């Protein structure tokens, strides 16, 4: 069984894609075949080949094995409202088939979630239900900003109650002007029951950079 990690965030826009890219790069640097998976995404633009999501394209380009866009992102939704409020149930089996297909080719699969841990799919079931079914280890991205300690603790508590392994968490400095950064990191380290496996500083265009120096895979906690 390859390494399989589900990347969730304390809320939206905390840098899940950037951290997923950093994880992929780190596994690749170790000589692993690593691939990204964005099972559900909201369309960001239209191409000649159809709807595309920017985050999924970043994962595709960051993978070490050649995969099609549809393999990386099997379910793409027109907009946020269609994803959240549709009456049609999400086909979890389709998500699982896509994951199984990728893990048959790779040593590590980085699965990027949508929104936070309890993000509702079609207003019915949270995406965490699927992660529980797949028994994925979880990596939590904490966007370092006002309120992140509360959000991180609640997220970690929910994942733990769901019976899943928190393999680690990553601090992403999305607000460079935040006071008491070091104190915030220390509070998070004391209250998240998982190792800090990386700190990403505030940098421009991180999706174009080598981010391996900010991640330490040796700290990952196995289940």
161 is in an annotated binding site: no
Respond yes or no: is residue 38 known to be catalytic.
Answer: yes
Query: From the candidates 38, 135, 189, 221, which is the catalytic residue?
Result: 38
203 is in an annotated binding site: yes
67 is in an annotated binding site: no
The Cα–Cα gap between 188 and 200 comes to: 15
The full length of the chain comes to 223
Positive or negative torsion for Cα 7, 90, 122, 45: positive
Please state, in angstroms and as integers, the Cα–Cα distance from residue 183 to each residue in 149, 170, 186, 187, 189, following that order.
Answer: 11, 16, 5, 6, 10
202 is in an annotated binding site: yes
39 is in an annotated binding site: no
CB 211 within 8 A of CB 22: yes
79 is in an annotated binding site: no
CB 195 within 8 A of CB 220: yes
176 is in an annotated binding site: no
- Residues tagged in the binding site annotation for Mg(2+): 17, 55, 112
Annotation: binding site: 13-18, 55, 112-115, 172-173, 201-203, 208
**Residue positions in the annotated binding site for ATP?**
13-18, 55, 112-115, 172-173, 201-203, 208
The catalytic residue positions are 38
């Amino acid at each position: 069984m390859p390494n399989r990690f589900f990347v969730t965030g304390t809320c939206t826009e905390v840098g899940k894609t950037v951290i997923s890219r950093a994880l992929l790069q780190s596994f690749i640097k170790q000589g692993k075949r690593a691939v990204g998976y964005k099972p559900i995404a909201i369309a960001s633009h239209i191409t000649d080949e159809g709807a595309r999501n920017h985050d999924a394209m970043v994962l595709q380009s960051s993978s070490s094995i050649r995969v099609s866009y549809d393999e990386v992102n099997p379910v793409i939704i027109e907009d946020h409202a269609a994803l959240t409020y549709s009456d049609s149930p999400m086909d979890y089996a389709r998500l699982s088939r896509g994951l199984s297909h990728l893990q048959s080719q790779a040593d590590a699969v980085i699965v990027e979630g949508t929104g936070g841990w309890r993000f509702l799919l079609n207003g019915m079931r949270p995406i965490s239900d699927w992660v529980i079914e797949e028994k994925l280890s979880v990596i939590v991205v904490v966007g370092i900003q006002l309120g992140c300690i509360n959000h991180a603790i609640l997220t970690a508590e929910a994942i733990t109650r769901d019976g899943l392994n928190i393999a680690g968490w990553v601090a992403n400095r999305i607000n460079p002007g935040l006071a008491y950064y070091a104190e915030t990191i220390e509070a998070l380290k004391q209250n998240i029951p998982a190792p800090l496996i990386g700190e990403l500083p505030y940098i421009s265009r991180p999706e174009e950079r080598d981010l391996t120096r900010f991640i330490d895979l040796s700290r990952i906690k196995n289940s």
